[in-house]
Structure 1
Amino acid sequence: MREGEVVVLANGADDNPQEGERLADYVVDVYPLNRYYFGSKDALSTKDETIADSLLRLKSNYEARGLRTNVQAVILVELFKHPHLLLLQVKNRTFDLPGGRLKQGESDLEGLRRKLSRKLSLDEGSDEVEWEVGDCLGMWWRPDFETVLYPYLPPNIKQPKECAKLFLVKLPVSRKFIVPKNLKLLAVPLCQVHDNHKADARSTWCIRCGPAECTWL
């Protein structure tokens, strides 16, 4: 593959024509990072200084409103001829997929588009191309007020505290990403998503500065 070419990710289909017809539903065009514009905007207010603060707020919200639902975006770009996942980093500590908590009565799609516009667009009412939210890729569950999440709901858990839904978000050929100044947008190789605390920072790319060991925060 030459530099700047589009990467196509797809599940293979056999010689069955019906399988071939459905293949388009599973194709994801991944465009080079240099096709996108990245800018910044005013910092967002943060509700939690530490992970412990976040868990305390989760407990308080659960007592008031019950199960909390988070929606998160899986966004892919091509860099160094490999697909990379876009992650947001807060104060050089936690890494998160773009997204956030749903409001009461808000649908998954509405909530995810709202959160993406708030964290990755100029503002929620901008004329930017609408986010194309695709299939739900999976759900993770938080059984208790702790940091551990599971990709399934343990059978002995009747009242989970949080559900996180992951959705594929397909990017157009180009668009603008406007990121709050107190967030760092990173492109992380897919091969380093697992055991990310052991990831080699040299292969993780800060959208603003280059190598992720930058210290602009």
Structure 2
Amino acid sequence: MSTITGNALKSGQPPIIPLTFSANQPKTIRLYPLSNYTFGVKEMQPEEDPSVVARLRRLEEHYTEHGMRRTCEGILVCHEHNHPHILMLQIANAFFKLPGDYLRPEDDEVEGFKTRLDERLAPVGKLGENEAPGDWEIGECLAQWWRPNFETFMYPFIPAHVTRPKECKKLYFIQLPNSKILSVPKNMKLLAVPLFELYENTARYGPQLSAIPHLLSRYNFEFYDEEGNIVAATPGGATNGDMPQTKVLASGDDADTDMNSGENGAN
């Protein structure tokens, strides 16, 4: 931090430094560059349901037998050009979603969630020799979305007339280490989407994903380079002038590469 402030004070018009403004602030989050991570492709994971109607029917069957369905998804953050990017899946070139899925009825919440993250993103075979199963740092629950009925709509609150919601989806912050190997099923794409692309972009990403910038606004960030040095921090910090944009990190033969044809990610 001192290096960054020192560089700023060398400018022609040094900034006025206000008193500290970090009372009751959550811990500062370290973000590592996208280039620190290795991305691969593994066997495809076909969707369980061929249609929205089939998915809702399966939800109804689950509710009848096990009660409210529990779903966990992860917000994994890295940076490119000192701007936060969210790692996100694009499935069948049709919709976007965060890594994770519904828990099995017998699963512990956190351990079951780690298993689901492994299924989506853990490498297999020789690529993952140094990766331990369930090696995820599950952070704070940043949001809860509720499905009041057997329909597609979810809300960040329980409507007043609803006493038995059919599903609760939790969004957890996942602290990424300084390096990691990730593999995506070959019928999906793994994207790095900048926060500004998500912000208020409900038409493309749906209400859950477009709300992520709001959820992360409570944190301050430190941006690290490949050598482990802080190159920028909240607030301030210079960039090299390149414009951040969504990047396809991994994509199998069965996943189309057109970034503009995805529909919104509410599901």
Q: Secondary structure at the match of 1:83?
A: strand
Equivalent position amino acid for 2:201 in 1: D
Partner in structure 2 of residue 213 of structure 1: 258
Q: Does structure 1 residue 128 correspond to structure 2 residue 131?
A: yes
Specify every segment of 5 or more residues in structure 1 that has no aligned partner in the other structure, as ranges. Answer: 1-13
Q: Give the letter for the 2:142 counterpart.
A: L
For residue 175 of structure 1, what is the aligned residue in structure 2? 180
SS of corresponding position for 1:208: strand
Which residue in the other structure is 2:148 paired with?
143
CA distance in 2 between counterparts of 1:143 and 1:117 reads 29
Deviates more, 1:117-126 or 1:64-73: 117-126
State the structure with more CA Rg: 2
Instruction: Choose between structure 1 and 2 for higher RCO, CA contacts under 8 A separated by at least 6 residues.
Output: 2
RMSD: 2.6
Distance in 2, matches of 1:167 and 1:91, equals 24
Q: Residues 117 and 123 of structure 1 are in contact (CA less than 8 Å); yes or no, is this contact kept in structure 2?
A: no
Structure 1 letter corresponding to 2:61: S
Cα distance in structure 2, aligned partners of 1:172 and 1:155 = 41
Asked if structure 2 preserves the Cα contact closer than 8 Å seen for 1:36 and 1:175, the reply is yes
| Whole-angstrom distance in 2 between the partners of 1:30 and 1:53 | 39
Residue 156 (str. 1) matches residue 198 (str. 2): no
- What amino acid is the match of 2:249? I
- Secondary structure at the aligned position of 2:250 is classed as coil
CA distance in 2, matches of 1:151, 1:117: 27
1:178/1:143 Cα in 2 relative to 1: closer, same or farther (>3 Å)?
A: same
Q: Check the 8 A contact 2:143/2:171 in 1, yes or no.
A: yes
Structure 2 vs 1, CA of residues 114 and 121 (structure 1 numbering), >3 Å: closer, same or farther?
A: same
Q: Which residue of 1 aligns with 2:65?
A: 64
With structure 1 as the length reference, what TM-score do the two structures score?
0.80
Q: For residue 105 of structure 1, give the secondary structure of its aligned residue in structure 2.
A: coil
C-alpha distance after superposition, 1:3-47 (max 9, x if no partner): xxxxxxxxxxx7499x4xx65x52111111111000111112321
Name the aligned partner's letter for residue 36 of structure 1: Y
Residue aligning to 2:46: 45
Q: Matched residue pairs, number?
A: 194
Q: Which residue is 1:197 aligned to?
A: 203
Q: CA deviation at 1:102?
A: 0.9
Return the TM-score normalized by structure 2.
0.66
SS of the residue 1:75 aligns to? strand
Change (3 A) 1:34 1:57: same
Give the drift of 1:153. 1.0
What SS is found at the alignment partner of 2:183?
strand
Report the Cα offset of residue 48 of structure 1: 1.3
**Compared CA separation, residues 88 and 80, structure 1 to 2 (3 A):** same
Once the two structures are TM-superposed, the CA of residue 65 in structure 1 deviates from its matched residue by: 1.5
| Change in CA separation of 1:107 and 1:139 when aligned onto 2, cut-off 3 Å | same
In structure 2, runs of 5+ residues without a counterpart are 1-18, 206-243, 252-256, 261-267
Q: For residues 70 and 98 of structure 1, what CA distance do their matches in structure 2 show?
A: 11
